[in-house]
Amino acid sequence: MSGKWLSEYRKKLTTAEEAVSLVKSGDVIFMGEFAQNVEALDIALSKRKDELHDVVLVTTTRTKPIKCVEADPLRQSFIWDDWHFSGVARKFFDQGLASYIPFTYHQGPRVVAKYSNVDFVFIQVAPMDEKGFFNFSTSNSMSYAYCKKAARVIVEVNNTVPKCLGGSSESIHISEVDMIVEGPNTPLVELQPATPSETDRRIAEHVMTLLEDGATLQLGIGGLPNIIGAMIAESDLKDLGVHTEMLADSYVDMYEAGKISGKLKFIDKCKMTYTFALGTKKLYDFLDNNPVCASYPVSYTNDPRIISLNPKVVAINNAIEVDLYSQVSSESSGSRHITGTGGQLDFILGAFQSKGGKGLICLSSTYTDKLGNLQSRIVPTLSPGTIVTCPRSVVHYIVTEFGVAQMKGKSTWERAEALIDIAHPDFRNDLIKSAEELNIWRKSNRIAV
């Protein structure tokens, strides 16, 4: 390591307690993204709860509880705002301790630059390299945008995290850092692959019929993407590319099975392009200093114009509910917030613009409610308070375990008919009656069987 940067490191090295002593009431603090959870700074700041009020903590999909929030059940000292809900944030939201920031993901860095007031960045990084750079590791999405905007940047070093190569904006130089804290070096949160259900398997079989050699993949999160990845790994598909928001374990499996080459991509050839990674140690080990993987800000990975440059983009995302008008909700159940818009809208738009591209919204046809009753996810109209994630004007494909419905170019009655055809058989006749009442059903159409 250069003596110059080592000397600078020692000058800026401090304790978490000293770093957080600068925080004042009303300050705004960005506390990192996804698996990169600051710990020493969080604990030190939580101990100041009786001295502070209305300090706003901003995260992107925090994967561990924030100690500051846990220490302040009345939400007087600390206010938590999240750009996308994980299970952790959803739990705190239900207690009135977290709020969601609506946005279109690819616009995030621009929103931060134009409209966000940021006093501090508390961000977890890999150890400084010999050139004086701290790598953002698995979470590049909006990290550098916040660092550029903040009055003070404080990094918390974790020597167990992978160094994730760019891409761009994957690191910050020590000259841009105000203070350095050495953290407890806790290994990254591991997101264990969700176990796919039989319904997931049947949906995945339909998805597989839409994939071609040379396709560029974007997979969401959950059991369905995992089983699709497993099926691809065992398939005859070849020369697949990756341009995605989230990099997960399933991509490692596909790469090691020889299905991913990226050589037919138009941009970032032979690279697995992503903005954040979340998975198990297998994924984190794969990422470490691996030039096959390219980490970019979300303003690049999720820009529909950039996405569309690659051929045959197949974007595969989940939903909670779809109505007969083909409006998609992927972030709320009625007024109860579940996740967020994320990159779903970005990739639906980008995939459609891609030559041979397909944007898929996948969901099981039914769910079981709290009373044990079977309910349809394809509904006449979205329930009051439900957030529309993808408007009907941009929806491309809807996939359930009963088939595939393509929406582009279809009238309202054609969309209703196509959706009823892939709804659970037990609900089809009721959906037809509802479509008739909504005046989006041809009187001559058959009754579902």
Annotated catalytic residue within 170, 245, 401, 417: 245
C-alpha–C-alpha distance, residues 84 and 172, integer Å: 24
Phi-psi region of 442 (alpha: psi -120 to 50; beta: other; left: phi over 0): beta
CA distance 361 to 181: 43
**Cβ neighbours of residue 143 under 8 Å, at least 6 residues apart?**
32, 33, 36, 123, 136, 169, 172
Structure tokens at 278: 């979340």
Q: Which of 280, 303, 290, 100 is closest to 187 using CA atoms?
A: 280
Of 82, 73, 74, 27, nearest to 54 by C-alpha is: 27
Of the candidates 268, 21, 30, the residue with the CA atom closest to the CA atom of residue 147: 30
Distance (Å) of CA 423 to CA 188, 381, 404, 416, 437: 40, 14, 10, 10, 18
Query: Any bridge partners for residue 321, and if so which?
Result: 329
321 labelled catalytic:
no
Q: What angle do CA 299, 219, 38 make, to 5 degrees?
A: 60
Token output for 97: 């301790």
Enter the DSSP assignment of 77: S
- By annotation, the residues acting in catalysis are 245
